[in-house]
Structure 1
Amino acid sequence: MPDTTNPDNKPAPKDWTPELDELHLREEMTGGMGGPDKVARQHAGGRLTVRERVGKLLDPGSFREIGRLTGVGQYDENGRLVHLLPNNSVMGRGQVNGRPVVISGDDFTVRGGSADATNKSKALYPEEMARDLRIPIIRLIEGSGGGGSVKTIETKGHANLPGGQGQSFGSEQLMINMGEIPTVGLGLGSVAGLGAARLAATHFSVMVKEQSAMFVAGPPVVKGIGEDLTKQELGGWQIQLPAGGVDNAAENEEDAFEQARQFLSYMPNSIDELPPRTECADPVDRREEKLFSLVPRDIRKVYKMRKIIELVADQNSFFEIAPLFGRSVIAGLARFDGWPVVLLASDPFHYGGVWTSDACQKVVRMVDLAETFHLPVVYLCDCPGFQVGLEAERNATIRHGVRAMAAIEQTTTPWCSVIVRSAFGVAGGAHAPSSRFHYRFAWLSARWGSLPLSGGIEAAYRAELDAAEDEAAKLAEINERLEKLRSPFRTAETFAIEEMVDPRETRPLLCEFTNMVAPTLRPGRARMWMRP
C-alpha cells in the first residue's frame, strides 16, 4: 500500500519539524476564526471578536487555550490540509486579578455562534473543568450555543431529540455548577435558545446596551406568531433587566468585563472556600453625622436609601445587582471592614418600599447567593408590608412573598438587620430569620406593627368614632394615644427589639457584626443553594 502520509515520497525528516510546522499552520488557520470578511463584519457591528474579548477580560498573558485545533478540516486529493474551519467555541484557563478562572466564548464569526452539534464535548469541557478544578467560570455568549442550526438536520441526516442519554449539551452541568462554583455570563450580542439558558443559568449576568439581546427565539421565529419586532424590542436590555431575565446592563464590552471582575472579587473560588477579605483603609469607627437627619420625621416623605448604603459600607464597595428588577428592594454585594456580604435594603422611592412579586423573587435570589457562597447578609429594612391591590393579586405576590420568607428561614449564614423606618405586616416581619440567632438593631426613626395605624383606626374604633360629638377630634385623640403606645422604646422594654441605636453608630456596629461572625463561617455545600 502507498504511504499516504508521505505522498511525494520525500525522505523522512530527522526531527519533528514538519509536525511542528503543521501545528503552527493549524493554529494560524483557527486563529483566523471565520475568515477576514466575518471578522470585519463583527467589527463593523461594534463588537469585539471572541479572542479579543478573552484578551481584554483576562490578566495579560494568562490565557491558556484548550482545544484550539478542534474544527472541520478540508483536504485536497493528496490528503493535504487546505483549510481548517475552527469550532465556534474558544475556551481555556486564565486569571482575573491574579485568581484562576475558566473562560468559554462563542465565536460569532463561525456559523453565527450556533454549535455544529458534532463537538458537544468541547462545550461541556469548560463546565466540567471549572467544577473539578473548583474555580469560577466566565461565559462569553453570542449565539444560540445549542444543538446546531436548522441546516444541521441535513448535515447529520436526522434531528436531535433534546435531552436524554447522549443528547445533552451540558445543560445539566449548568445547573450543577450553580451549587458548586461562581458562574458569570456576559451576553455580548444576540443570544437565543440554549445560549439564553447559559446566560440565565448564572449567579451574575450582564448584557451590553443596544448591542445585546436575549430571547428564547429571535424575531424571525416570533414573527410567525404575529409579533413583528426588532431584536431590541423583543429582548434588549430595556426588556430583560426589568423582567429579571438578566441582572445588569453595561455601556460597552469593556464595562461588562469590569463588572465581571468586580462580581468575582466578592466570591470564593468555590463552595469549598470562604469569600476573600480585602484590605480596608476605611475606619471601622467612622460615624456619619448625615445619618442622624437623613430619614425625615414626616413618614410621607421619602429619602435616599442608597445614600445610607454609601455612608455605612466600606467606601466604594457597594456593587449593585439587578437595579431595574424588583425596584422596591435594593440588592448587591458590599464590604464592611473588608469582609464581603450580601446587602439588601428597602427603597422607599418605589412603592414606598413594599415587597412586590418581583421584589420577593429578588430577595430569594440574593438570599440563595449568600447561602451558596457563605456570605453574611445585611438588611436595611423599611418595609410597610406586601403590595396590595389587583396588580399584586394577579402577580401572586403572597406566594412569592411566602417563598422569600421560606428562603430567609432556611438560611444558615449570619444575618444582621437594621430597621431604618417601617416594619409592618407579614413582609415587615420577614426582616430576619426568626428561628435562630441574628443581630438586629433599630434606628430612632423605626416604627412597626401588624399594620400601619393610618386607615386602620377608622375601622377598629368605628363605634367609638360614631358615638363622638366631634369625630375628627376623637380620631386625633385616639391617634395620639396609640402613637405613644407604638413608641419603639415601649417595644424595647419587652426585649422584642434588642437594641435601639443612634444611626451614626451603624457603620461601627455592622463592622463589628462582620468581624464577629467571620470565624463562624464554614465552607462546603449549602443545604439550599442558588437556582437560576
Structure 2
Amino acid sequence: MPSDNDNKRQGGPEEKEVDDSRENWEHPLSELRAQQRLIQAPNQEDPGYIRQKANNKLWVRERLTSLLDNGSFLEVGSVTGKPNYDEETGVLKSFTPANSVTGFGKVDGRKVFITADDFSVRGGHADGGIQMKAPYGEILARKMRVPLIRLLDGSSGGGSVATYLTLGATYIPGLAGLGKSMDAMAVVPVVSALLGPVVGLAAAKAVLGHFSVMVKGLSQLFAAGPPVVKQATFEDLSKEVLGGWEIHAQNGTVDNVASSEVDAFQQIRRFLSYLPSSIFSLPPVHATTDLPSRREEDLIAIIPRRRARPYDVRKLIRLIVDTNGTPDDLNSSSFFEIGYTWGRCIVTGFARLSGNPIGVLTSDCMFNGGAIDALGSQKTARFATLCDHFGLPILNLVDNPGFAIGSVAERTATIRHGAAALSALYNATVPIYTVVIRRAFGVAGGVFADPDEGMGTRVAWPSGDWGSLPLEGGIEAAYKRQLDAAESEEAREKIMADLLEKFESVRSPLKTAHKFGVEEIIDPRDTRPLVCEWATHVYEHLLPQLSIVRQNKYGLDAKPSSGRGYRL
C-alpha cells in the first residue's frame, strides 16, 4: 500500500487540503501591493497633502508624472516608511511614507534617476525621512551612469530639533550624504528643481549640481529659514524677502527661473537633452532639417558701423545655430540660455550645429557695454567648466571691451574672479571655435579672443576692433600730458580728433591680418556653414578620442578622483 509520503508526492488527498496561500508567496505579495496602493494614492484628508494643495503645489507623485515619460517610473524603496496596523485585527490602516520618493524613469526616452521630496510628510525634515534613502539614489545614479534629477521641497531630510527627542541625545552633524552628491557630479549630469522652501541640506544640494531652476512665487532658498534668522540676527523677514527668486536668480545661486512647476520640468528636460548620460559617453546628436549651408543676410548688418551702438546678441546667436523656424521665433531655435538673470554681461547656453550639441559663450553689449564684471566672470568659469566636463565644444563669439573698472569693480574682486574665468577657458580640453565679432581689449579681451594661446580655431568679422586698450581711452592715457597742455577745451578736442584720425589708419582688422595677427577674416554670412563643418568634424574625429582618454583615466569605477573631478 502507498505511504502517506507517497500520497503527498503523487498529489494525494492530503496535499489537496493544504492552503495554497501558505505554499506560495501570494500572501506577502498581496501585503506588499496593499502598502504600495496606500503610498501611491494621495490621502486627501492628510493635513500635509491639504497644505500642499492650498499652496498651489503639485503632490510629489504628480510631479513625477509631469516630468517623466509616461509610465516609465520604476520606484526604488516603494514601501520605505512606517505602516500602521490595527492592534486587534492586524489589518493595515494607514502608511506614513518616507519623505523622499526615489527611482528610475525616462526623459525623452533616456534613463534617469530621480529623488523627489515629499513636503507633505513633516515638511521634508529628517524626522520624516529614512536615513540614506536619498544619498543611496545619488550613489545609484553615479554607478549606473545616468543623469540625476532632484525635486527639492523642504530640507530634503535635513535636520530638525524634533529628532533630538527621538534619539534621546543631540549629535555632531555630518555631511548628510553631500559627499555622495559631489561624487555624482563628477560623473553624471545633476540637475535640481526648487519647488518650495528649500532650506539647509536642500539648499546645499541645490548648488551642488550642474543646473538649477526655481519657480517664481513658489520656491525660496536659504541656509536657515525666517524663524532661525529672527533669533540669530533679529531680522523679521518673510520667506520671499529672505530668499525668493529675485534674490537668488540675480546673484547666481540658481541658474534659471521658471513660471510654473511644469515650466521648470520642461527646462530640465531641455537642459539634459544636450548632455551625455555620463562623462564616459558623447553628447547626443539630433537630426535636423536646418541646412548647414544656410547663409543669413541679416548677419552682414547686425553689427552697427558706429562702434558705440548696441545690437541684439541673442538674435545673432539664433541666426547661426540650428532652428526649426525663423531666428525671431524663440521656441523654434535650438539655443537654450542658461543664467539669463545673473551675470548679465555674459550670455551662456546650449545650442546645436547640424544637430551636434555645443556650448555658446558671448557678451551682451546691452549690459554695461559688455564689460566683464565679477558675476560675469563667475558665470564664464562655471559654464566653461560645465562644457569641458561633459565634452561639449564651445562656440565663442567675442565682443569684449575688457574687465569692468571703477570702485564697484574693485570692491567685488573683479580681477580675481576674472582670473578664474581665464583659468577655466585656458584649461578646457574641448575644442573652442572663436569668432571675434567686434571688440577684444585688454586682459579680458585676450582671455576670450585667444583662450588657448593660439592653438584653437579662430576667425574674425570685418567689424573686429582690438588692442591693449580701446583707442579713445588709450589715447587719453598715452597722450595725457599733451592733451592737458592744450590752451582751451576746443584746442584739446582738436588734438584728440587729430590723434583719433591718425590711429584710425591702423585700426582696420585687415592690417592685423596682414601680419597674421588674426588667422582669417570671414564674411559674417559664412559663419554658420563654417561652424557647422567644424562641429561635425569635432564630433566625428575629436570627441571620440576625448571619451577614450576619460575611459583610460577613470576606468570602470566611475568615481574620478574620489569625487573631486568637478570644479564648482
SS for the counterpart of 1:294 is coil
CA distance in 2, matches of 1:179, 1:435: 27
Q: 2:192 maps to which residue? A: 185
> For 2:480 and 2:49, how far apart are their aligned partners in 1?
75
Aligned length: 519
Amino acid at match of 1:108: F
Which residue of 2 is the match for residue 475 of structure 1?
496
Q: Which among 542, 557, 564 is matched to residue 520 of structure 1? A: 542
The 5 A counterparts of 1:105-120 are 105-116=116-127, 119-120=130-131
Show the counterpart of 2:9: none
- Name the residue aligned to 1:24: 33
Contact 1:34 1:109 in 2 (8 A): no
The answer on 1:244 being equivalent to 2:252 is yes
Query: What is the identity, as a one-letter code, of the residue corresponding to 2:186?
Result: G
| Alpha-carbon offset, residue 60 of structure 1 | 0.5
- Secondary structure of the corresponding residue to residue 428 of structure 1: helix
Letter aligned with residue 239 of structure 1: I
Query: Do structure 1's residue 511 and structure 2's residue 532 form an aligned pair?
Result: yes
| Number of the residue aligned with 1:380 | 397
Amino acid of the structure 2 residue aligned with 1:358: L
Report deviation, 1:314: 0.6
Q: What's the CA shift string for 1:420-467, capped at 9, x where partnerless? A: 111000001011323462111111111000001113213322454467
CA–CA separation in structure 2 for the residues paired with 1:183 and 1:118 = 22
| CA 1:327–1:215: 2 relative to 1, 3 Å | same
Partner of 1:6: none
Distance (Å, rounded) in 2 between the aligned partners of 1:398 and 1:104: 39
Gaps of 5+ in 2: 1-18, 324-332, 555-559
Quote the offset at 1:160 in angstroms.
2.8
Identity of aligned residues (%): 46
CA distance in 2, matches of 1:283, 1:76: 68
Show the counterpart of 2:3: none
Aligned position for 1:67: 77
Partner of 1:220: 227
Task: List aligned pairs for 1:8-87, cutoff 5 A.
Answer: 13-32=22-41, 36-37=45-46, 38-77=48-87, 80=90, 81-87=92-98
Instruction: Give runs of aligned pairs for residues 410-449 of structure 1, distance below 5 A.
Output: 410-431=427-448, 432-435=450-453, 437-449=455-467
**Aligned with residue 164 of structure 2, among 130, 135, 153:** 153
Structure 2 counterpart SS, 1:501: coil
Larger Rg computed on CA atoms: 2
- What secondary structure, in the 3-state scheme, does the structure 2 residue paired with 1:172 have? helix
Distance 2:463 2:43 in 1: 62
Cα deviation, residue 74, structure 1? 3.2
Which string of whole-angstrom CA distances, capped at 9 and with x for unpartnered residues, describes residues 233-259 of structure 1?
111111111010111111111111111
Residue range with higher mean Cα deviation, 10-19 or 286-295: 10-19
Q: Distance in 1 between matches of 2:140 and 2:242?
A: 34
Aligned equivalent of 1:129, options 103, 115, 140: 140
Q: Distance between the aligned counterparts of 1:355 and 1:489, measured in 2?
A: 27
Alpha-carbon shift at residue 12 of structure 1 (Å): 7.3
**Shift, 1:35, TM fit:** 5.8
Q: Which digits, 9 at most, give the CA deviation of each residue in 1:225-283, with x for residues without a partner?
A: 12211111111111111010111111111111111110110010100101011101111
Match of 1:141 in 2: 152
Note the residue ranges of structure 1 that are not aligned, 5 or more in a row.
1-9
Specify which structure has the higher proportion of helix: 2
Amino acid at match of 1:140: L
Work out whether residues 196 and 215 of structure 1, in 8 Å CA contact, stay in contact via their aligned partners in 2. yes
Who is 1:5 aligned against?
none
Shift of 1:157: 1.2
In the TM superposition, residue 115 of structure 1 has moved relative to its aligned partner by 2.5
1:29, distance to aligned residue in structure 2 (A): 2.5
For normalisation by structure 2, the TM-score amounts to: 0.88
> Could you tell me whether the CA contact under 8 Å between 1:381 and 1:422 is conserved in 2?
yes
SS in 2 for 1:241: helix
Amino acid at match of 2:230: K
Write the deviation string for residues 298-339 of structure 1: whole angstroms up to 9, x where unpaired: 122111100100100111100000101110000010111111
Residue range with higher mean Cα deviation, 508-517 or 327-336: 508-517
Instruction: Answer yes or no: is 1:171 the counterpart of 2:192.
Output: no
Between stretches 506-515 and 444-453, larger displacement belongs to: 506-515
Give the counterpart letter for 1:71 in structure 2.
G
Query: Residues 293-308 of structure 1: matches in 2 within 5 Å?
Result: 293-308=301-316
> 1:446 corresponds to which letter in structure 2?
G
8 A Cα contact 2:384 2:424, kept in partner: yes
Q: 1:12 to 1:304 in 2, by over 3 A?
A: closer
